[in-house]
């Protein structure tokens, strides 16, 4: 192989020499060089012999050839480097695409897992907590966790109220209730698209300036409407790191899917709440109340706890409907429902039993610390409810000078452990009937041996 390569180069050199000899004779190159020498000699400042001139010309030609070769070599290297850069850039772009694709795949996998976990829940509190945690987790970066708050639309008044926060509470905001005309809610309502603050959070009027430091590196704000069938159920207010917003446009498809899943979860939470609430009054409906009463009785047996039940009826309510009409009667029911909810603890449960009759369950409440034979705790709550209604409607013209009658039963443990929910309802209803038939506007309590009224 080496012999053949050497032979090739020898033959190439011989061919070049032969071509040069041929061209020299064919083109009369010697005559042309002589004429060129004589022409140049007249312009040179020194005298050169013809052989010196030939040497100088040869060297100049060699240098020119070298320059051309260097230029070609540089051009080839530049083209090669450019192509290598293009290849490297294409490879890097492909790697970045693969990385982003894998990142998005993991994100969508997390999103799918999150959606499955959320949609399995029916409890509103659990769902709301899951929504804000998921929104924070999916939008957080290494530099800062995203601070999230959820605001729900109350459809009776259209007010937008703070529901719950993650890494924040209602103290961060200037107020906990906004109207649809307030910014930035009005803008989100008109566009039904996420709102992004173009500047930092310093100029946002709905935040308390003295609380901004708790946001840390989350110095950018955005508001996302949670929409189902063109209806906004609530809003996510997110405070995130600037890097999140930089990538928002590029990952808009992912974030759109995220907001859709969270909207669905919120719809389930709202629907679940609607399913257990009385639509008119906003307290729990009878079916859900009975289910919870059974559960609380089981818990009371397990932990050896007392439990009390109140049956409440609005006195002379029929006159309101007959004289003023059902719309006014509905308004009365809403007012009394609010009074009931304000008069009890968070762990207590208020339900509408039917018509103008309500029922209240008081877990872990019985005779209290007073002497046996008196239902101190439950009686106190019942009297507070009676007094609140009396104060609300006192001084109004008939038939709006309303009062309530209350029947109370306390289930002791272990003395009354055999009393099931039906027995409690029966005993409380008996006391309610006694209160209604002995003057109204009073509380009657079932005691182990007898029942006696508590005068209003």
Measured between alpha carbons, how far is residue 336 from residues 122, 140, 214, 298 in Å? 28, 44, 40, 30
101 Cβ contact list (under 8 Å, min separation 6): none
Q: Of residues 26, 356, 392, 415, which has the active-site annotation? A: 356
Catalytic site residue 356? yes
Residue-wise pLDDT for 306-333, tens only, equals: 999 999 999 999 999 999 999 999 999 9
Q: What radius of gyration, in Å, describes the C-alpha atoms of the chain?
A: 45
Burial classification of residue 99, based on how many CB atoms lie within 10 Å of its CB (0-12 exposed, 13-18 middle, 19 or more buried): exposed
Among residues of the chain, what percentage have pLDDT more than 70?
81
Asked if 294 contacts 421 with a C-beta cutoff of 8 angstroms, the reply is: yes
The per-residue pLDDT for 120 is 58
Provide the residue ranges of all domains of the chain, joining segments of one domain with +: 122-276, 286-454
Is pLDDT larger for residue 210 or for residue 50?
A: 210
The alpha-helical segments, DSSP class H, found in 180-325 are 185-191, 242-246, 252-276, 286-303, 317-324
Which position has the token pair 């109207």? Answer: 179
User: What's the whole-model pTM score?
Assistant: 0.48
Cβ count near 32 (within 10 Å): 11
When mean pLDDT is compared across 86-100, 136-150, 196-210, the lowest value belongs to 86-100
216 Cβ contact list (under 8 Å, min separation 6): 144
CATH second-level architecture of 286-454? 2-Layer Sandwich (3.30)
Q: With b meaning 16 or more CB within 10 Å and e meaning fewer, what string describes 145-177?
A: bbbbbbbbbeeeeeebbbbbbbbbeeebbeeee
Residue-wise pLDDT for 278-306, tens only, equals: 888 888 889 889 988 998 999 899 889 99
**Structural tokens at position 422:** 């039906």
Rounded Cα–Cα distance for residues 145 and 210 (Å): 20
DSSP H or E stretch at residue 32: helix 29-41
281 Cβ contact list (under 8 Å, min separation 6): 333, 334, 337, 352
Q: Fold for 122-276, please state it.
A: Beta-Lactamase (3.30.450)
């Amino acid at each position: 192989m080496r012999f053949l390569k050497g032979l090739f180069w020898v033959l190439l050199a011989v061919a070049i020499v032969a071509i040069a000899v041929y061209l020299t004779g064919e083109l009369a190159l010697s005559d042309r060089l002589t004429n060129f020498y004589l022409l140049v000699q007249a312009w040179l400042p020194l005298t050169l012999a013809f052989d010196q001139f030939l040497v100088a010309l040869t060297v100049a030609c060699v240098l020119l050839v070298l320059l051309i070769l260097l230029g070609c070599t540089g051009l080839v290297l530049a083209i090669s480097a450019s192509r290598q850069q293009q290849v490297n850039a294409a490879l890097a772009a492909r790697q970045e695409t693969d990385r982003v694709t894998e990142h998005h795949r993991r994100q969508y996998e997390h999103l799918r897992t999150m959606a499955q976990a959320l949609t399995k829940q029916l409890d509103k509190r659990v769902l709301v907590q899951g929504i804000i945690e998921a929104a924070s987790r999916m939008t957080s970066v290494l530099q800062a966790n995203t601070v999230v708050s959820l605001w729900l639309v109350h459809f009776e008044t259209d007010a937008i109220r703070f529901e719950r926060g993650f890494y924040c509470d209602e103290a961060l905001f200037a107020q906990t209730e906004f109207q649809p005309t307030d910014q930035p809610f009005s803008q989100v309502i008109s566009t039904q698209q996420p709102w992004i603050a173009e500047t930092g959070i310093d100029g946002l009027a709905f935040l308390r300036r003295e609380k901004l430091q708790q946001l840390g590196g989350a110095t950018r704000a955005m508001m996302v409407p949670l929409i189902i069938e063109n209806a906004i159920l609530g809003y996510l207010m997110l405070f995130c790191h600037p890097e999140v917003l930089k990538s928002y446009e590029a990952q808009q498809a992912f974030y759109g899917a995220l907001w859709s899943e969270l909207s669905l979860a919120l719809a389930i939470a709202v629907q679940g709440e609607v399913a257990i609430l009385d639509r008119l009054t906003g307290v729990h409906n009878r079916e859900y109340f009975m289910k919870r009463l059974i559960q609380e009785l089981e818990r009371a047996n397990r932990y050896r706890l007392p439990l009390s039940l109140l049956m409440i009826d609005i006195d002379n309510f029929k006159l309101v409907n007959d004289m003023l009409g059902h719309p006014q009667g509905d308004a009365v029911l809403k007012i009394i429902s609010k009074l009931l909810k304000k008069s009890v603890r968070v762990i207590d449960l208020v339900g509408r039993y039917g018509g103008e009759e309500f029922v209240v369950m008081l877990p872990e409440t019985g005779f209290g610390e007073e002497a046996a034979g008196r239902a101190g705790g439950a009686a106190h709550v019942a009297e507070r409810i009676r007094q609140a209604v009396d104060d609300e409607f006192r001084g109004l013209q008939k038939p709006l000078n309303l009062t309530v009658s209350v029947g109370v039963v306390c289930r002791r443990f272990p003395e009354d452990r055999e009393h099931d929910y039906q027995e409690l309802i029966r005993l409380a209803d008996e006391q309610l009937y006694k209160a209604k038939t002995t003057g109204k506007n009073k509380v009657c309590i079932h005691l182990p041996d007898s029942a006696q009224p508590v005068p209003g």
